[in-house]
């Protein structure tokens, strides 16, 4: 043993303490560094979750997730889709009140009130909110997801996505583009005019086009877009291009006025993020059948409302586990800085929950130009997520990783065991109502929400009598 140590190069593995790694590397020693941290909950809690049947339950939940067959089938207003009435609004993230709502959330609600004719001025709309005259509820509670503020009002057109494998529907509003838009909390005249055009022209045109085309297989579009450099959260350029290519003949066949068709084609084609609002309900339709699997520690929703970051877990029903949302770190537009940024907001983390977005960063190295970092960071992000997920998606593959399936099925137990949290990329909203988008970047979910979920799973397991 002593002879080999002196005559051969050692194989060194360091765990947790980067000082050892740096010192050895400085001396020319090859080192394998393992990113390990002590579990954030007591070992007895983890044992209780295991004894509650998490392994078998997670197989059921994961199999449902990757079996999903999401298809876009139509367009409907929120009134018809989920039963919203005047004065009722959906929003992104876990439950929040007007009093606790962030600037962009309030701004988006103001835009919604102006759009619905509930108020004539922003000041009147603010007064309605402060008087408590609004009914607010999370999008996730009614099979809906909304990007950024995620505010949905009754007259807004929504994508209708059905999961053919289980028959459940999911809904999402149409994408407005970037800049000063409602979902980022803007409410100027141009915002309201655009929402009206989307209701009166864009929505009906798309409804006619999908009626001509028939159901659009979103799983196939997503899989192809991953091969073409998208990660399907903050980069949807390939997916939107595929959408335009697939749907344009059907749009032209609707017989609508040529001027309207030209406006619709130009709007969709000029908005690289248009397909995001189809990825999100595709992911929501995939994760909802995974709910309520007793004992499962798989995450079925991650969402932020600009104040709180929250998750829901398969084995704990509709309970939200929340903690304060962090301010994203990234690149800023124009003269904006981190001082202008609101804490993280939006339901778009449903993409990571379903195995794309930040979990597929390795498929989209160009994303670093939008959110910051280097190409190596995108590769490392995806590779690190395999350690906190239950498996790999059979259809969503990463070419640069030899077509390995994306890491899919976030497991709260693995998160608290490793100390590694989900990797999320996101847009950044201005913290002052009415500002709009100020940048894009990365954000770390708070560990507290995953720890709380594991503790809740353990408590449920202890309460179930052994047969």
Span 326-351, pLDDT tens digits: 999 888 888 899 899 999 999 999 99
Q: What is the CATH number of the domain that holds 349?
A: 3.90.1700.10
Cα–Cα distance, 24 to 117 (Å, whole number): 67
On whether both 108 and 143 belong to a single domain, the answer is yes
On whether both 52 and 84 belong to a single domain, the answer is no
On whether both 145 and 233 belong to a single domain, the answer is yes
Residue 300: per-residue pLDDT: 98
- The list of the chain residues with pLDDT below 50 reads 1-2, 5, 466-467
Cα–Cα distance, 341 to 321 (Å, whole number): 24
Cα–Cα distance, 51 to 463 (Å, whole number): 12
Residue 156: per-residue pLDDT: 98
Domain count, the chain: 3
On whether both 203 and 306 belong to a single domain, the answer is no
On whether both 60 and 78 belong to a single domain, the answer is no
On whether both 253 and 300 belong to a single domain, the answer is no
On whether both 293 and 264 belong to a single domain, the answer is no
Residue 437: per-residue pLDDT: 86
On whether both 412 and 276 belong to a single domain, the answer is no
Residue 1: per-residue pLDDT: 46
On whether both 370 and 418 belong to a single domain, the answer is yes
Residue 368: per-residue pLDDT: 81
- Find residue 417's DSSP bridge partners: none
Structure confidence by residue, pLDDT tens digits, 26-74: 666 676 665 555 566 666 666 666 655 678 999 999 999 999 999 999 9
Which residues are CB-contacts of 435 (< 8 A; sequence separation ≥ 6)?
103, 104, 107, 180, 184, 185, 186, 340, 429
Q: Quick check: helix, strand or coil at residue 369? A: helix
Which residues are CB-contacts of 116 (< 8 A; sequence separation ≥ 6)?
86, 153, 154, 155
Q: What is the CA radius of gyration of the chain?
A: 23
Q: Which one of 247, 282, 317 terminates a domain?
A: 282
Residue 416: per-residue pLDDT: 95
Cα–Cα distance, 404 to 400 (Å, whole number): 8
Q: What is the CATH number of the domain that holds 109?
A: 3.90.1710.10
Whether the Cβ atoms of residue 211 and residue 239 lie closer than 8 Å to each other: no
On whether both 90 and 172 belong to a single domain, the answer is yes
For 138, the domain range is 73-282
Q: Which two tokens stand for residue 22?
A: 């740096």
Structure confidence by residue, pLDDT tens digits, 418-429: 999 999 988 888
On whether both 323 and 457 belong to a single domain, the answer is yes
On whether both 271 and 403 belong to a single domain, the answer is no
Cα–Cα distance, 148 to 84 (Å, whole number): 20
């Amino acid at each position: 043993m002593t002879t080999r140590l002196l005559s051969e190069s050692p194989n060194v593995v360091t765990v947790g303490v980067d000082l050892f790694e740096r010192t050895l590397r400085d001396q020319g020693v090859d080192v394998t560094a393992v990113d390990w941290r002590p579990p954030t909950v007591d070992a007895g809690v983890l044992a209780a979750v295991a004894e509650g049947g998490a392994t078998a339950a997670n197989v059921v939940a994961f199999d449902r997730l990757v079996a999903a067959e999401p298809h876009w089938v139509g367009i409907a207003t929120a009134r018809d889709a989920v039963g919203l009435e005047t004065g009722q609004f959906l929003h992104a993230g876990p439950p929040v009140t007007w009093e606790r709502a962030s600037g962009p959330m309030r701004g988006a609600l103001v835009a919604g009130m102006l759009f619905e004719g509930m108020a004539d001025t922003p000041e009147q709309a603010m007064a309605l909110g402060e008087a408590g005259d609004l009914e607010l509820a999370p999008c996730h509670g009614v099979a809906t997801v909304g990007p950024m503020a995620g505010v949905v009002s009754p007259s807004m057109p929504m994508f209708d996505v059905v999961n053919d494998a289980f028959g459940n529907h999911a809904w999402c509003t149409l994408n407005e583009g970037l800049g000063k838009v409602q979902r980022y909390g803007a409410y100027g005249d141009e915002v309201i005019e655009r929402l009206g055009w989307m209701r009166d022209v864009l929505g009906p045109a798309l409804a006619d086009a999908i009626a001509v085309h028939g159901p659009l297989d979103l799983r196939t579009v997503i899989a192809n877009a991953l091969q073409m450099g998208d990660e399907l959260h903050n980069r949807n350029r390939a997916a939107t291009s595929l959408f335009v290519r697939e749907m344009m003949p059907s749009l032209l066949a609707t017989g609508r006025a040529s001027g309207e068709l030209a406006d619709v084609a130009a709007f969709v084609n000029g908005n690289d993020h248009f397909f995001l609002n189809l990825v999100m309900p595709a992911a929501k339709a995939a994760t909802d059948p995974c709910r309520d699997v007793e004992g499962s520690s798989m995450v079925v929703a991650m969402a932020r409302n600009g104040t709180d970051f929250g998750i829901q877990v398969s084995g704990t029903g509709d309970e939200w586990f929340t903690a304060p949302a962090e301010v994203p770190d990234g690149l800023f537009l124009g003269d904006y800085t981190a001082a202008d940024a609101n804490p993280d907001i939006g339901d778009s983390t449903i993409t990571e929950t379903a195995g794309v977005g930040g979990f597929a960063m390795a498929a989209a190295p160009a994303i670093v130009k939008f959110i910051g970092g280097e190409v190596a960071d995108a590769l490392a992000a995806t590779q690190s997520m395999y350690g906190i997920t239950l498996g790999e998606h059979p259809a969503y593959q990463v070419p640069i990783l030899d077509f390995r399936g994306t890491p899919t099925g976030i497991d709260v137990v693995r998160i608290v065991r490793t100390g590694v949290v989900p990797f999320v990329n996101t847009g950044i909203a201005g913290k002052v109502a009415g500002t709009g988008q100020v940048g894009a970047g990365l954000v770390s979910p708070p560990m507290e929400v995953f720890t709380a979920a594991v503790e809740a799973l353990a408590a449920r397991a202890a309460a179930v009598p052994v047969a």
